[in-house]
Amino acid sequence: MARLLIVDDEKSLCQLLEIAFRQDGHVVETVASGTTGLAKLASQVYDVIISDIRMPDISGIDLLEEARTSRNPAAFILITAVPTVSTAVQALNLGAYRYVIKTDKLVEELRLVVARALEELALREENVRLRRELLRVFAQNNIVGHSRKIEAILEMVRTVAPTTSTVLITGDSGTGKELVARAIHEASPRREKAFVSINCGAFPETLLESELFGYFKGAFTGADTNKKGIIEAASGGTLFLDEIGETSLSMQVKLLRVLQERKVRPLGGTVDVPVDVRLIASTNRDLQAMVSAGQFREDFYYRVSVIPIHVAPLRERREDIEPLARHFLRKFSLQMGKPLRDFDAEALSALTHHSWPGNVRELENAIERAVAVSGDRDGLIRLENLPEAVTGVSALGERAVHIPREGVDFENLVAQTEKQYLVEALREAGGVRTRAAELLRMSYRSFRHYAKKYGI
């Protein structure tokens, strides 16, 4: 049921249209002049307005211009017995939904036009609802920002969430690839089912296979019980394979079979288990280059990258730094019970000018630290509350980078710095090496190489 306003100085036509649209189940009001129609627009909200163009007082064009200023503009349909090209062009340029000529089939034609207009209105309202829901989901998942690149991701999530297509999310470590994957899941019809995530670079190949596919008792040494695999556990929901570029060629073959046949066979089993799972994968590596180098299967690449989504690094969307920083400030202020409300000018400038090599994860950690060490003075985060890496100033007020007159042993200095970052990353990650590797935006294999190099 919709609310319709009909404006025409021909009373018999108004009565005819009122009868027809009431039979269709709509609420209909009719007025015989543009002036009265204008008063109705000022006090009522309508879904569809049908107005004659030529009326003694105010024309339908004037009424259309006024209706455009409404906060909830209706679908405006203009009708006329004396059509002209210039009037039709003017009406459509002003946003008229349709321009209909009065004929003996006017009622039937208007019924069809109104039905189409209401269908489009319902679709537009659904899109608005979905967009608001996605904004809520994004906020819940710390995906905050108003840059064009974030808006593009939001639109892509809205488009692909209802589908079952495989998605590949690319981007540097710390950009929030898993958060985008969760947003897709939570905006999809699978939201009530499980979202299961696994980091492919965190396990040796044999252990990864048993985690993904499960196993039966006795399948290998140490398999004392039956265990359901992650793929089967995600059935009906979403499986997120983080850092899929770390998988071996043989594992890629097995995963390709799952995607093609929608079945898994646990280790030690003889029967395939059907699974209904939507795959979302992510990587910070260039998979196309890996395909060219023979390090990633081409058929598997095309199977996982049906819908690619790229999450740009924070340095390429600096307009998102300030809203993200304020979002994290509110989050950690509430968690720590501190009455902090904003950043002072120097602190905000330092935040917006930092390159953020660790992306959103680095920004979040920086704001958490700032809130923790803040003295709550004036409710503002100040420059001295921010990490040295962000401000470029040490706790003593000196520049973080200083070269003495006698010079420095550059290679030794770099080695010391690398080791310090490895140790600090491990501390931040609670000793979990895969997490430490993510903080340093390197693969787990690279982290192991450097850790061995420096005896960590």
Which segment of 107-116, 130-139, 211-220, 310-319 scores lowest on mean pLDDT?
130-139
Query: Which pair of tokens denotes residue 16?
Result: 């005819």
Q: What is the mean pLDDT of residues 8-37?
A: 92
Residue 424 has pLDDT above 70, yes or no: yes
- The encoded tokens of residue 224 equal 């004392």
Residue 131 binned pLDDT confidence (cut-offs 50, 70, 90): low
* Dihedral sign of CA atoms 208, 212, 215, 219 in order: negative
Task: Give backbone dihedrals phi and psi of 283, rounded to 5 degrees, phi first.
Answer: -160, 150
Q: Can you give the pLDDT at residue 453?
A: 87
- Pick from 29, 124, 30, 33: nearest CA to 75: 124
**Burial (CB count <10 Å: 0-12, 13-18, 19+), residue 21:** buried
Nearest residue to 391 (alpha-carbon basis) of 344, 438, 437, 339: 344
| Domain covering 315-391 in this structure, CATH number | 1.10.8.60
C-beta atoms surrounding 273 within 10 Å: 16
Please tell me whether residue 197 adopts helix, strand or coil conformation: strand
Q: Which two tokens stand for residue 306?
A: 């049906």
Decide if pLDDT at 439 tops 90: no
Percentage above 70 pLDDT, the chain: 92
Q: Say how far residue 288 (Cα) sits from the centre of its chain.
A: 24
| pLDDT more than 90, % of the chain | 43
CATH of domain 3-124: 3.40.50.2300
77-86, 216-225, 342-351, 399-408, range with the lowest pLDDT? 399-408
The 3-state DSSP composition of the chain as helix, strand, coil percent (nearest 5) reads 50, 15, 35
Of 132, 125, 137, which is closest to residue 181 (Cα–Cα)? Answer: 137
Q: What is the pLDDT of residue 302?
A: 95
DSSP symbols for 416-442: HHHHHHHHHHHHHTTT-HHHHHHHTT-
**pLDDT for the residue numbered 204:** 87
Residue 398 has pLDDT above 70, yes or no: no
Got the DSSP string for 283-299?
Answer: ESS-HHHHHHTTSS-HH
Closest CA to 45 of 77, 67, 65: 67
Could you report the per-residue pLDDT of 263-273, keeping only the tens digit for each? 998 888 778 88
Helix orientation angle between 410-428 and 444-453, rounded to the nearest 10 degrees: 120
Q: Over range 62-74, report the average pLDDT.
A: 79
CB 30 within 8 A of CB 17: yes
Q: Give the pLDDT confidence score for residue 397 in this predicted structure.
A: 43
- The larger pLDDT score, comparing residue 412 to residue 251, is at 251
Angle at 158 between CA 154 and CA 164, to 5 degrees: 125
Q: Is the pLDDT of residue 135 over 70?
A: no
- Residue in 204, 187, 92, 85 with CA at minimum distance from that of residue 136: 187
Average pLDDT, the chain: 86
Per-residue pLDDT, averaged over 123-133, amounts to 70
The mean-pLDDT minimum among 115-119, 224-228, 298-302 falls in 224-228
- Predicted structure pTM score: 0.59
Choice among 65-79, 244-258, 301-315, 347-361 with the minimum mean pLDDT: 65-79
Nearest to 353 by CA among 320, 404, 390, 386: 390
CB 230 within 8 A of CB 212: yes
Q: What pLDDT does 395 receive?
A: 43
CATH fold group of domain 141-312: Rossmann fold (3.40.50)
Predicted confidence at residue 28, as pLDDT, reads 94
Res. 304: pLDDT tops 90:
yes
Residue 295 pLDDT: 94
List the one residue out of 297, 222, 230, 220 whose CA is nearest residue 264. Answer: 230
